[in-house]
Amino acid sequence: MKNLPLVTVVIPVYNCAKYLTEALDSVFAQTYRPIEVIVVDDGSTDDSADIVRNYPEVRYFYQSNQGVAVARNVAIAAAEGEFIAFIDADDIWKPHKLSLQITYMLEHPDIGITGTRAENFLEPNTQVPPWFDCDRDLQECIVIIPSTLVVSISIFHQIGNFSQNYQSEEDTEWLRRAEDLNVKTLMIPEILTLRRLHGKNLSWKMKPMHKFNMLRISKESIARQRRSS
């Protein structure tokens, strides 16, 4: 296919230098072109900035620590692509991920959001918390996670950006807003993303807030539906 649309790849990073090279390498190993890559450094105090300097084609933004939602929103505002893809700085893409997703979305323009299946893997020597269950938590992700997302830029114009009111589950809240507005979303039934679990994942740190956030998301969704009815 010729004249393929530009895809902006968004990578928020906060003290993730240990894994950032592998994430970036997986992005530049994609079979799909053209891409632009934006890294938003959310106030890292490690060597994340030095890692990014090894990739002169990357557009780098630095901000004081304000959270992953703000970091992603900064990148969305700067993006020049027709589609935006997200990957966290500690995750990995398989080489044909973008190609499969963009091909599908071009063939089905009614689909505004796609994700992929993702495989969890545990970083060696990671000390797992008491609630961690290998049989359960190392299974494939059964929901769309941020590192699998590809979104048409028009969808952000329709439903807005990630909410800055959530320190975690901001992606779930955003997807719920998309669902409430009947945005068509599809999960590609292939494992194209590898999600690294290493003990410092935001989802692990914010685990105690999970149930509260999910209840809050549901309440806000119900309120929106009542207002629109």
Which pLDDT does position 33 carry in this prediction? 97
Share of the chain above pLDDT 90, in %: 70
Residue 138 has pLDDT above 70, yes or no: no
42 Cβ neighbours under 8 A, 6+ residues apart: 12, 13, 14, 63, 65, 66, 67, 68, 70, 71
CATH number of 7-228: 3.90.550.10
pTM: 0.90
CA dihedral 144, 224, 82, 67 (to 10 degrees): -70
Cβ-based neighbour number of residue 12 at 10 Å: 27
Average pLDDT over residues 138-158: 88
Query: What average pLDDT does the structure give for the chain?
Result: 89
User: Residue 176 corresponds to which tokens in the numbers above?
Assistant: 């719920």
- Note the pLDDT tens digit of each residue in 155-200: 999 999 999 998 878 999 999 999 999 999 999 999 999 988 865 6
- Note the pLDDT tens digit of each residue in 11-20: 999 999 999 9
User: What's the farthest any 2 CA atoms get from each other in the chain?
Assistant: 52
* Residue 143 vs residue 104, higher pLDDT: 104
State the amino acid at position 93 in one-letter form. W
Locate the domains of the chain by residue range.
7-228
- Note the pLDDT tens digit of each residue in 71-116: 999 999 999 999 999 999 999 999 999 999 999 999 999 999 999 9
